[in-house]
Amino acid sequence: MKNISEKPSFLGLGDLRKRWNYTRQGINLRIKQDTEFPSPYAIINNGKTKIWLLSDIVNYENLRTNLVRRLENLSDFYSL
């Protein structure tokens, strides 16, 4: 049984935009074209809002070296 204090973390489209420094259109294109992009954990707000588990996104990033490189470059940029 899972500990109740272990709450899953979720990301929305805006979180992904900020995380990857992509436009909304860029994220939607990736979702449509990449068959390995994780399915949303839930779709809420009358089908308008998708949310993903952070763990699913991290696993996806680990499969995509271009995203990992992009995240590392952004981290270097913001640490200046």
Identify whether 37 is part of a domain.
yes
**Region for residue 3 given its phi and psi (left: phi exceeds 0; alpha: psi -120 to 50; beta: otherwise):** beta
Identify whether 3 is part of a domain.
no
**Tally of domains within the chain:** 1
Identify whether 1 is part of a domain.
no
List per-block mean pLDDT (blocks of 10 residues) for the chain, which spans 80 residues: 70 94 93 95 96 96 76 58
Q: What is this structure's pTM?
A: 0.75
Identify whether 36 is part of a domain.
yes
Q: Which domain holds residue 64?
A: 10-78
pLDDT number for residue 8: 80
- Is 43 within 8 Å of 13 (Cβ atoms)? no
Identify whether 40 is part of a domain.
yes
pLDDT number for residue 73: 64
The four Cα atoms 23, 16, 27, 10 give a dihedral, to 10 degrees, of: -150
pLDDT number for residue 74: 60
Identify whether 22 is part of a domain.
yes
pLDDT number for residue 78: 54
